[in-house]
C-alpha cells in the first residue's frame, strides 16, 4: 500500500538522525542505575529499551503514539454504523503516528484483504496436531510454519541493505497480521466446532471478518475491534513485546518473532491470565450455585485462593500502580452492554473486594485490576465460552504493536540484543559479602 509505505519512509528518514545523534553524541549519558534487586528480580524498572509506539505511565496507563485509549477509539476511522474503529487503521497509526483519513483506512482494509488468504499447508498442519493441543501452541505452530513465506529472510539471503531492511520486515508484518485473525478463527472452529469452518467474507474488514469466521453475530465484530485495539501494545518491556523485539534483534524474521511472542504470551502470569480469570470465576459460580456472592462471601473465596498459594488472576502489574485503563475501557463497555450479566456482576464484586485484600496481604505492589480481569467476561457473554481460546485473541491484538515495533527496529538499525550476566560470586563481591 503505497500511501502507508511512502508516509512511513518519510517518517523513518526524519527520525533516523535523532537516533544516530543520541548514539554518537550522547551514548555515554546514563539513563539510570541497575541494582542487585533489579538484576535478580526480573529487571523491573531498568530503562534499556527505546520505542515511540507506546508508553506506559505507572499511574495513567498506556498511550499509543501519545494518545490514551479513549482518544484512539475516538480518532481512528470506523466502518459505517460501527462504534469501534477499523483495526487496520491502528496499524497505520502505530507505524506512522498519524491518524489515517477514512480513505486511507479503507485502502488499507482492501490491502489487508489481498493478504489474508491462509495457505492450505497451515490448515493441514493444524488439522494434524494432537486434538488436545492448547490453542496457543496451535497458533504459535501455525505462525512459524509460514516462515518460508518470509520476504525479509529472502532479502537477507540476497544481501540485506541496512537502510531498506525495514521494507521486507514491513511486508512480512502486514502479510502476517492480515492472516492472524483467520488462523485464530480456523483454530477455534477446528477445536471447538467440529471443524465446521466458515469461509472468509471478502466484503468485511478485519474485525467484521473475524466475527464472521468465528460464527458469532454482530455486535461481536465491534467487540473484536475493541479487543484487538485494546490489547495491541504496552510499551516494550512486557514478555510478549520484549520477546518479539529480542528475537527480531538477531535478524530473525516476523514469523519467528511472532511465534516466540505467542509462546511468551501463553504464560499464566502474562496473557494466559485472561483464561485463568474465567476459570477462577467459574469456580466461585459453582461454589455459590449461581447466586451473586456478597462482598463477605467473595472475600472468603479470594482469601482461600491466596492462602492456597495462588495469585489472584487479573490483578497486579509489574509497571502499573492504578486501575488499568484497558480494564476501565472494557468495564465501561460492560456497563453499557452487559450490565445484568451474572459474570459481570461477579467481576464487579471482585473489583470491590480484591484491592483491599491485596493491600491487607501486603505483597502485591499494585492491588488494582489489569486488562485480563474483565476481558473474558465479555467474550463469554457473546458466546465465546471456550476460555482456553482467550489468549489467542490477545495474541492477534498484541501482534499489531509488536510488529510495528520490529518494523521500526529494522528502520533504526537496532543491533542484536545482548545484556551482560554475572555469577552469584561476582554479585556477592559487589555487595561486599565476600
Cβ 283 to ligand CMX shortest distance, Å: 15
Cβ 357 to ligand CMX shortest distance, Å: 9
Residue 220 φ/ψ, nearest 5 degrees = -65, -25
CA dihedral 92, 97, 103, 104 (to 10 degrees): -40
Stretch that binds ligand CMX, among 195-203, 333-341, 366-374, 377-385 (CB under 6 A): 366-374
* Candidate residues 259, 275, 370, 391; the one interacting with ligand CMX per rule CB under 6 A: 370
* Cell numbers placing 27: 551514548
Residue 235 φ/ψ, nearest 5 degrees = 50, -165
Q: How far apart are CA 434 and CA 431, in angstroms?
A: 8
Stretch that binds ligand CMX, among 245-253, 304-312, 396-404, 409-417 (CB under 6 A): 304-312
The count of residues in the chain is 434
* 315 forms part of the interface with ligand CMX (CB under 6 A): yes
Q: Who contacts 103 (Cβ-Cβ below 8 Å, separation ≥6)?
A: none
* Candidate residues 270, 331, 398, 410; the one interacting with ligand CMX per rule CB under 6 A: 270
The residue (of 139 and 170) whose beta carbon lies closer to ligand CMX is: 139
Cβ 273 to ligand CMX shortest distance, Å: 4
Q: How far apart are CA 390 and CA 362, in angstroms?
A: 30
Closest CA to 394 of 92, 33, 136, 124: 136
The residue (of 60 and 110) whose beta carbon lies closer to ligand CMX is: 60
* Candidate residues 372, 389, 407, 411; the one interacting with ligand CMX per rule CB under 6 A: 372
Residues within window 250-269 making contact with ligand CMX, judged by CB under 6 A:
269
Stretch that binds ligand CMX, among 1-9, 58-66, 313-321, 327-335 (CB under 6 A): 313-321
Cβ 65 to ligand CMX shortest distance, Å: 19
The residue (of 213 and 281) whose beta carbon lies closer to ligand CMX is: 281
Cβ 390 to ligand CMX shortest distance, Å: 12
The residue (of 208 and 314) whose beta carbon lies closer to ligand CMX is: 314
* 314 forms part of the interface with ligand CMX (CB under 6 A): yes
Cβ 292 to ligand CMX shortest distance, Å: 22
* 312 forms part of the interface with ligand CMX (CB under 6 A): yes
* 390 forms part of the interface with ligand CMX (CB under 6 A): no
CA dihedral 369, 275, 51, 140 (to 10 degrees): 170
Stretch that binds ligand CMX, among 12-20, 122-130, 169-177, 308-316 (CB under 6 A): 308-316
The CA-to-CA distance between both ends of the chain, in Å, stands at 61
* 317 forms part of the interface with ligand CMX (CB under 6 A): yes
Residue 138 φ/ψ, nearest 5 degrees = -65, -40
The residue (of 4 and 261) whose beta carbon lies closer to ligand CMX is: 261
> How many residues bind ligand CMX, per CB under 6 A?
21
* 326 forms part of the interface with ligand CMX (CB under 6 A): no
Cβ 318 to ligand CMX shortest distance, Å: 3
* 313 forms part of the interface with ligand CMX (CB under 6 A): yes
Cβ 371 to ligand CMX shortest distance, Å: 6
Stretch that binds ligand CMX, among 81-89, 165-173, 249-257, 307-315 (CB under 6 A): 307-315
* 271 forms part of the interface with ligand CMX (CB under 6 A): yes
Contact 3, 18 (CB under 8 A): no
Residues within window 212-251 making contact with ligand CMX, judged by CB under 6 A:
238
Residue nearest to ligand CMX (CB): 316
* Candidate residues 366, 375, 391, 402; the one interacting with ligand CMX per rule CB under 6 A: 366
Q: Which residues are catalytic?
A: 270, 317, 372
Binding site for ligand CMX (CB under 6 A): 238, 269-271, 273, 306, 311-318, 363-366, 370-372
Amino acid at each position: 500500500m503505497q500511501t502507508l509505505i511512502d508516509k512511513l519512509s518519510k517518517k523513518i528518514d526524519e527520525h533516523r538522525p535523532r537516533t544516530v545523534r543520541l548514539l554518537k553524541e550522547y551514548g555515554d549519558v546514563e539513563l539510570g542505575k541497575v541494582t542487585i534487586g533489579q538484576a535478580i528480580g526480573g529487571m523491573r524498572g531498568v530503562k534499556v529499551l527505546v520505542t515511540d509506539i507506546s508508553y506506559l505511565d505507572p499511574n495513567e496507563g498506556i498511550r499509543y503514539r501519545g494518545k490514551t485509549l479513549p482518544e484512539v477509539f475516538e480518532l481512528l476511522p470506523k466502518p459505517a454504523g460501527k462504534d469501534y474503529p477499523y483495526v487496520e487503521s491502528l496499524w497505520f497509526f502505530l507505524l506512522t503516528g498519524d491518524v489515517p483519513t477514512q480513505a486511507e483506512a479503507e485502502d488499507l482494509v482492501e490491502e489487508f484483504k489481498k493478504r489474508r488468504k491462509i495457505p492450505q499447508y497451515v490448515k493441514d498442519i493444524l488439522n494434524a496436531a494432537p486434538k488436545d493441543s492448547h490453542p496457543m501452541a496451535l497458533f504459535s505452530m501455525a505462525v512459524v510454519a509460514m516462515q518460508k513465506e518470509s520476504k525479509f529472510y529472502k532479502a537477507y539471503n540476497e544481501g540485506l541493505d541496512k537502510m531498506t531492511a525495514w521494507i521486507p520486515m514491513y511486508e512480512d508484518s502486514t502479510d502476517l497480521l492480515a492472516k492472524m485473525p483467520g488462523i485464530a478463527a480456523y483454530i477455534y472452529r477446528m477445536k471447538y466446532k467440529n471443524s465446521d469452518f466458515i469461509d472468509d467474507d471478502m466484503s468485511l474488514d478485519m474485525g467484521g471478518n473475524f466475527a464472521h469466521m468465528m460464527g458469532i453475530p454482530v455486535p461481536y465484530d465491534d467487540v473484536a475491534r475493541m479487543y484487538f485495539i485494546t490489547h495491541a501494545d504496552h510499551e516494550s518491556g512486557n514478555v510478549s513485546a520484549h520477546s518479539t523485539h529480542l528475537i527480531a534483534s538477531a535478524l530473525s524474521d516476523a514469523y519467528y518473532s511472532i511465534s516466540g511472542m505467542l509462546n511468551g504470551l501463553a504464560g499464566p502470569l502474562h496473557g494466559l491470565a485472561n483464561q485463568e480469570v474465567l476459570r477462577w470465576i467459574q469456580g466461585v459460580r459453582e461454589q455459590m450455585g449461581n447466586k451473586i456472592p456478597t462482598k463477605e462471601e467473595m472475600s472468603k473465596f479470594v482469601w482461600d485462593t491466596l492462602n492456597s498459594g495462588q495469585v489472584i488472576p487479573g490483578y497486579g502489574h509489574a509497571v502499573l500502580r492504578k486501575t488499568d485503563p484497558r480494564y476501565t475501557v472494557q468495564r465501561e463497555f460492560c456497563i453499557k452492554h452487559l450490565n445484568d450479566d451474572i459474570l459481570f456482576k461477579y467481576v464487579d464484586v471482585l473489583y470491590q473486594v480484591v484491592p483491599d485484600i491485596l493491600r491487607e496481604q501486603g505483597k502485591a505492589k499494585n492491588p488494582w485490576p489489569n486488562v485480563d480481569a474483565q476481558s473474558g467476561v465479555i467474550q463469554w457473554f457473546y458466546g465465546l465460552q471456550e476460555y482456553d481460546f482467550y489468549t489467542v485473541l490477545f495474541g492477534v491484538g498484541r501482534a499489531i504493536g509488536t510488529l510495528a515495533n520490529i518494523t521500526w527496529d529494522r528502520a533504526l538499525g537496532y543491533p542484536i540484543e545482548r545484556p551482560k550476566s554475572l555469577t552469584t560470586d561476582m554479585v556477592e563481591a559487589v555487595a561486599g559479602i565476600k
